[in-house]
Each structure stands twice: as C-alpha cells, then as structure tokens.
Chain A
Amino acid sequence: MKVGRKRRTSVFYVCNVVHVLKRFVALVTMACLSSSRLCARVQDKLLCQFGHKVRRQTVFVKLKPPGPSALRIFGKTYQRVTTCGPPCGSTSANAAAGYVRRLASSLQSTNTGSLPDYGTQIVDPYRLLEDDLNGIYEDIRAELEKNTNQSELNTIATYYFDGQGKALRPMVAILMARAVNYHVYGENSALLPSQRHVAMISEMIHSASLIHDDVIDQSDFRRGKPSVNVLWNHKKVAMAGDFILAVASMMIARLRSDEVTLVLSQVVTDLVQGEFMQLGSKETENERFAHYLTKTYRKTASLIANSVKAVALLSGADESTCELAFQYGRNLGLSFQLVDDLLDFVSSAQAMGKPTAADLKLGLATAPVLFACEKYPELNPMIMRRFQEAGDVEKAFELVHKSRGLEQTRFLARKHGAEAARLAAELADSPYQKGLVVTTDLVLNRIK
C-alpha cells in the first residue's frame, strides 16, 4: 500500500471534506482486502469461454453500469467493509441490483466454477471492474452539479451522463490503472482515487466533444434518444460543452500533477485539430490514407491513449511502462474507430435499425471507401466533392460493398487490436492485464 502515498495526500488537500471522507473509507477498506479475497473475486468474475462471441457481446452490452442509484456511496462502503472478513462469499453482500445482474449474466455464461485458469477463460472487464465503474456516471453528474447554480445548464450538461453509454473510456482507463498498479506494486495494489478521476475526466471530455459534434453535424439521435441539439438552444448547447470541458479541466488541475495536466491538455488540442482535418480534403490520393489515420488518431485514439498514459503516470510507473500504456491506448483507439467506420457500412446491410452510411452523408471518406478506391478509381472525384452530388452516397456505398474495402478495414483493425494485445501482454500477469487483452477483442467484435 505504498502506492503513491504522496500523491494520495495531495489529493486529500484538494478534495472537499465529503469527498475526502468517502475516499478515505474506501481506501482503508481496500487496504484491508487480502490477496485471497481478490483472487476469490476474480474467480467469481471469470466467465465465458472462447468461441461464445455472440454471447459475449450480449454480456458486453448488458453489463453497462446500471441507472441512477442514489445510495451508491453508502452501499459501496458497506459492501467493502462486510467483505473484508472471509474471502469467499464476497458477492453475497452485494447490492440487489448487482446481484440480479450477476445472476442474469451467470445464466448466460458457462462458468466452470473451477479454479481460475487465465489461459482458457476470458475475463469480462466490465464485470471485473464492476465496483470501480459502479456509480461513475453519478459521480460525474455530482461533479457537474456542484459547479453550477443554473439548473438548465446542469440539465444539458448531464444529459449524456445517463448511464446509457458503453463507458468504454473509463473502463479502459481503470483497467489500465489497475493493471499498471499490479505491474508496479504487485497484487496488493489498489486503484488510486486520482486514477478513477482520470477515468471520469476521459468520459467528460468525450461527452463535451459529442455535444459539440451534435451541433456541428445536426444529428437527430444519439444513444437511442434525441440528441442535445434537437432539444435545446444551440448557443446553450455549445456553452454546455464548454462548461463540461471547464469542469473536467478543474478536476485535472486538482490532481496536482503537471505531467498529467500536460498529457490531458494534449487530448483537447488533438480533438480540435482532428475536427479541423475533417473539414478539408485537399490532400492528394497518396497522402489521403495517412491523413485519415492521423485524423482518426486525433479524434478518437488520442483520448484513450493519453488517458491510459495519465493513469500510468499517476501510478508512478517508469517511462517505458507509460509509453507502453500510451501505445496500447493508441492502437486500441485506432482499432475502435476502424471498426466504427466499418459498422457504418455493414449495420445497414444487416438491416439493423435505420440504414446508416452516416459518414458518407456527412461527406467523409473513411477507411472502407479509401480502400475501395484502389479498385474503383471512380470514387476519387466523389471523395473530392464530398459525395455532394445526387446519387453519390448510394453509388459509393455500393462500390464499397463490391470491393474488398470492408475486409481490408477489418484486417487493419485486427492488426491494431493485435498490437494492443501484444503490448498488454508485456505487463505483469494479472486479471486486469488479461482484461486489457480481452478488451481488444471486445472492440473488434462489437456490433454497436
């Protein structure tokens, strides 16, 4: 438990009293946890075997954090205190919601119930981190609410923190935090409050960018509900985005780490530059793919890469481990976005929801189109005019499907996923490190 004592104390100074108390209780109880207890929990959370892809996806979707639960703090503390004693039966004192969820997913999985064998079983990262991720949206909402006395601002700013998102970014950040802590300090390491804050910040920066994207792209729906720009005044929506960024930035500052602030400020710069790159398409055919990859890094991967780097920095890991974390995040992020671009083409083919091709309609040439270009050069002029002419979108859509563009995109996504998995394998063996490997699979095999 020597994990960054200095850092923890510095966090204590800046948090308000309630926060300090809450975290303190959590830490003390965490410190009480024996390693055997940890193993027991891990064992409990091992599920699903290879080959159950569809099932795993269902789990992936279903295991997102539950809706609002006001008594989280107390529930969580209570749970931890009671599970301090006997290592087995650690789940019995769980909150009712968690219990039901666990029951539901254990019905879906084929849990062998034997001793954990990491080689043949898959760790579901969302289950592994259930306690850490539980209430993360509530904490974000509380942080935003604390920072404004204008109720409408609060409403808009918290709109997307309803617990309906996948929480991929916080999940990866916490997973990496725990994996690196384990790597550096061994199995008795715990998650630092500051690292959980970085997880919250990553989701906040992501949401702030979503909110601004909604105004820019005039989208109608997001996450199954009307997007912010449909419901509120666009000026106010823009301000709410700025507000979330400002609050996130205050949270970053309260971590009191120069390095972390620099790393996370890079994210914001990258996001904006990526957005600017998306505006213009003046590059030549040769430069186009490099341009696309740089844009993808800046718009998506940078946030994941830099937030996992930040948690590694907070853990006090050496430079090479931080760089490893960063590269893991970068590759995972690229893989994630490539799959996203792919799904934009195939999800309509599978008659899932509405026909998509949203990127084409926005005038964006993503990887499948750029690959298809090699076989069908007639796509070039369409890319240059951003699919503006009548019939362009349909024609491009058809050509992409006729070409090997989708296949090649998947191959590239796999390549980045494999690289991320290879990097994760370099960390010390732990359930969390396994979780990092599994996450690369989840990203590749997701259907939404």
Chain B
Amino acid sequence: MSLSSLRCIRKYNNLVNVHISSAMVSKVLGPCKREVSTSSSQRANVATHNSKPDWNRAVSEAEKIVGYPTSFLSLRWVLSDEIANVALHLRKLVGSNHPLLKTAKNLIYNGKNNMQAWGLIVLLVSKAAGHSPEIPDMEQDKAAGVLHSQRALAEVTEMIRTSHLVHKGLVNMNVSQQFTRDPDDMVFGNKIALLGGDYLLANSCSELANLRNQELVELMSSAVRDLAEAEFLGERDDQNNPLPSRPLSEEQIDPAAEWDCIVEPLPMSGVMGNLPREWAARHVLAAGALLGKSCSAALKLAGHGPALQTQGYLFGCHLALAWQAFLDLESFTGPEPASFSLVGAPLAFTLEARPDLYCYIEAGRRSVHDVDYHALYEAVVSGDGIAKTVELQREQARRARAALGHFRCGDARSALANILSALHHALD
C-alpha cells in the first residue's frame, strides 16, 4: 500500500461526521441489548454490584478467545535484564513518595485500571477481521486465529502505553519547594522512570522494525508522537496535571478544523475554550490515537484494504473515548470522592454551562490539590453534566459499534460488543 491509499484512509476517516443508521445499531447490539434505565437512584447501586463482574467476565472471556492475555505480565519482556534492573531499583524507592511506585502498582495490580486490556482489544479486532488467504501458515497462530505479527503489535501497543504512563509519572523537580524533604529520592525515581519508559519505547522500536512494514512503523510512531503532544495540551499546574481551559463563548472560538487525518498531527483550531471538543481532543491524543492506530495497523498486517483499516481506526478511537467517558463517570456514581479529574467530561459540560465556576479551577494553577473539589462536585451533581456525559458515552459507544458492524460475525466480534456493553451497564 502506498501513500495514496493512506490518503484514502484520511478521506474515509471522518471522526466527527460518522453517521450510522439505527438499524445498524440494533443489528450490532443484537442479543446483548438490554433495557436501559438512567434513574440516578439505581445508578450507584448497579455500579457497585453489577459493573465489575460484568466487566471482568467480558474481559476474561475475550482473553480466552485470543489465546492468552496480553497484560503487563507477558513474560517475554518482564524477564529481561533491564526490567529486573528496574525492579531492583524500584525497591530502593519504596518508602519515598515518588509517583513511579504508584504507576508500577497500577500496572501490576490490574484491578480497576482497565486500560491494560488494550493489547487484548487489538487481538480481538485482529481476530474479528480475519486475514487474507495469501498469508502463509507459518505466520499464523492457528489456535488463536491471529497472526504472530499481530500479537507482536498488540505487545507494542501495551509497551507504548506503559512507557507513556511511566514517563507521565515523573516528578517535576523544577519547583523546588515541595521536595526539600528528600530530593535525592526524587532524582533517582525520575531516573528510573525515564530509563524504564525509554527501555519500553526502544523495545517497541525494534519490535516494530522486525515487522518489516514501514507504513506500519510510520503509523505507530505517529501514535507515540500523539501521546507526547497530549501532555502539552491546554493549561497545566506545576506538576503538569491538566486543567481545563477557560470556557469561551461561541463567537470567541475559532471555527473547528476537521479531524480527518490519521498520520498528521491533530489540528487544534477551535479546540481551546470549547470544553467538550477540548475533552475529545485531549483523549484522542492521549488514548484514542494509540488504540485506533493499533487496530488499524493490525488490519494492515492482515492485508485488509484501506476502507476496513479506517473502520479499525474509528473503532479503536471511539472505544477509547467511550471508555474514557465511562471512567470520568465513575467519580460521580459512588460516594463523593476526595478528588476527581479536572478534565473529565462531567466537569467539562458543567463548566461550559457555568463559566463562573472557572475561578475554582484557577485556584489549582499551582497544584491541582488546591482546588475545592467539594464545590465543583456539588456543581456537577446539581447540573446536567452527568446526563450529558452519559449521552456522550452512549454516542461514542454507538460509533464504536457502527465501526464494529464492518467486521465479520464471530466470537471475537461479540466479545468486543460485550466489552462495549459492559461499559454501558455500569451506567444503568
């Protein structure tokens, strides 16, 4: 495939304007469709008792479909010298409060951090699409129904994501006052985090090179670039924690540019100040791009045409956004949390409706811990931010389903559909 077909993808890929017929939705929903109820009294109840088992079941059944799970503990790279080295040094950090420890914990205790299922998604998409008959038997994992190259790609996806999380866990030492207690620990933690992330990134480079597909290397490298860009979007506190930008009125916002490119960087016009769009841009860069590009790349490896590759991208991207909306809602479904994401969708909608609340955000310009979370929580719960987020989540899931409709029926496709519905049920 040459550049011209890549351009094709760009043309087809219309992230913003994907419309689907309701008939298709019901077809895709199929047997998984259930009664939907949005009454808030039930929400908390269902979320605590129902969502987790449902989610876990969906994931573990999906894992069976593609052979074995592709989580962080995929032994091939945990058993390497370098990671052993990192683990050794991590022990020295125990007792310090370097955030790297938290990152490591979250990666190993897969618990609530669902994002580790990304490699799994890539494999499921691979299986759901099948591959062209020209691919020799040697390159197939017959039992799982995916190609060895796709398995390698799934691993690369997880490595890139993990590397990004690890690099995000650095401490900014440029603001001295907070770290007078033990700066050496922080320097050392940063060193390990930086090297550990670099190690994963370097490994993904060579894994990708081994696939001997340069368009794929370009696509996946652009996903790494997007992740880096995500850390620069909008306002930040001293530790680079994201803050929403000041909501602007409609006439103050530039006309929005179409997001119809895959390899080019995401256009930023019309994003800042338009909080729902800012939410989308942020999470397309931080999550959607990687998952979407990985799914698209998996289809490329299987010899599928640009049209299906685009559907793969759309599926991955919308799934990631649906997932993010779901995570954002979690803070508002249980008891009031001590803090929550300031760039979550519920707050974005609330701020859009009530720009006066932005003074609370400004209090967190030095550190997000200075924000009065209680006041913001009250504002979100009393407004329509949650309802709008539920709607957003539905919409993203609907688009993911629509893309899924282009894949052939089978256990992998229903597993993906189940994962999408598991996200839904948590809201009911």
Contact = CB atoms under 8 A, between A and B. Distances in A.
A239 B225 contact: no
A401 interface: no
A168 B14 CA distance: 44
B203 A254 contact: no
B78 to A, nearest CB: 15
Contacts of B81: 276
Contact of B214 (A150, A258, A273, A276): A258
A235 B172 contact: yes
A216 interface: yes
B209 A265 contact: yes
Interface stretch (B47-55, B216-224, B302-310): B216-224
A234 B221 contact: no
Nearest to A156: B232
Interface stretch (B19-27, B265-273, B322-330): B265-273
A368 to B, nearest CB: 25
A253 B214 contact: yes
Contacts of A230: 174
Contacts of B144: none
Given A265-B205, A276-B199, A150 B233 contact: yes
A110 interface: no
Contacts of B205: 245, 249, 265, 268-269
Interface in A136-169: 147-150, 152-153
Contact of A242 (B82, B172, B227, B268): B227
Interface stretch (B123-131, B146-154, B236-244, B363-371): B236-244
A230 B206 CA distance: 32
Name the residue among B89, B194, B265 with the largest chain A CB count within 10 angstroms. Answer: B194
A150 B265 CA distance: 10
Contacts of A254: 214, 218
Given A149-B267, A245-B201, A254-B214, A265 B208 contact: yes
Contact of A238 (B85, B170, B209): B170
Interface residues of A, number: 50
B195 interface: yes
Given A233-B172, A254-B218, A150 B232 contact: yes
Contacts of B187: 218
A256 B216 CA distance: 11
A218 B191 CA distance: 10
Contact of B228 (A153, A255, A265): A153
Contacts of A239: 167, 227-228, 231-232
A272 B212 contact: no
Interface string B259-281: 00001011110000000000000
Contacts, number: 159
Given A236-B231, A239-B228, A252-B217, A272 B202 contact: yes
Contacts of A148: 225, 229, 232, 265
A245 to B, nearest CB: 7
B372 interface: no
A249 to B, nearest CB: 4
A233 B238 contact: yes
Nearest to A278: B195
B283 interface: no
A393 B101 CA distance: 32
Interface string A216-251: 101000000000011011111011101101110110
B139 to A, nearest CB: 16
Given A245-B224, A261-B214, A276 B201 contact: no
Contacts of A273: 82
Nearest to B257: A149
Contact of A250 (B190, B198, B225, B266): B225
B393 to A, nearest CB: 27
Nearest to A238: B167
Interface in B165-221: 167-168, 170-174, 187, 190-191, 194-195, 197-199, 201-203, 205-206, 208-210, 212, 214-215, 217-218, 221
Contacts of A271: 198, 202
Interface residues of B, number: 55
Interface string A31-63: 000000000000000000000000000000000
Nearest to A261: B209
Contact of B265 (A147, A236, A261): A147
Contacts of B170: 215, 234-235, 238
Interface string B1-32: 01100000000000000000000000000000
A405 B236 CA distance: 50
Contacts of B164: 242
Interface in A325-365: none
Interface in A117-132: none
A14 interface: yes
Given A233-B240, A235-B170, A261-B217, A246 B225 contact: yes
A229 B174 CA distance: 8
B89 to A, nearest CB: 7
A269 B225 CA distance: 18
Interface string B80-91: 011001000100
Given A147-B225, A153-B229, A242-B227, 16 more contacts: A147-B265, A148-B265, A232-B174, A233-B236, A233-B239, A234-B190, A235-B168, A235-B231, A235-B240, A239-B227, A242-B201, A246-B225, A249-B205, A253-B215, A262-B209, A276-B195
**Nearest 10 interchain pairs by C-beta:** A253-B218, A243-B228, A150-B232, A265-B209, A253-B217, A246-B224, A246-B225, A249-B221, A235-B240, A149-B268
Interface of A: 13-14, 147-150, 152-153, 212, 215-216, 218, 229-230, 232-236, 238-240, 242-243, 245-247, 249-250, 252-258, 261-262, 264-266, 268-269, 271-273, 275-276, 279-280
27 contacts: A13-B3, A148-B225, A148-B229, A153-B229, A216-B191, A235-B167, A235-B168, A235-B231, A238-B167, A242-B164, A242-B201, A242-B227, A243-B228, A246-B222, A249-B221, A250-B217, A250-B225, A253-B215, A254-B218, A261-B217, A262-B209, A265-B208, A268-B201, A272-B201, A272-B202, A276-B81, A280-B85
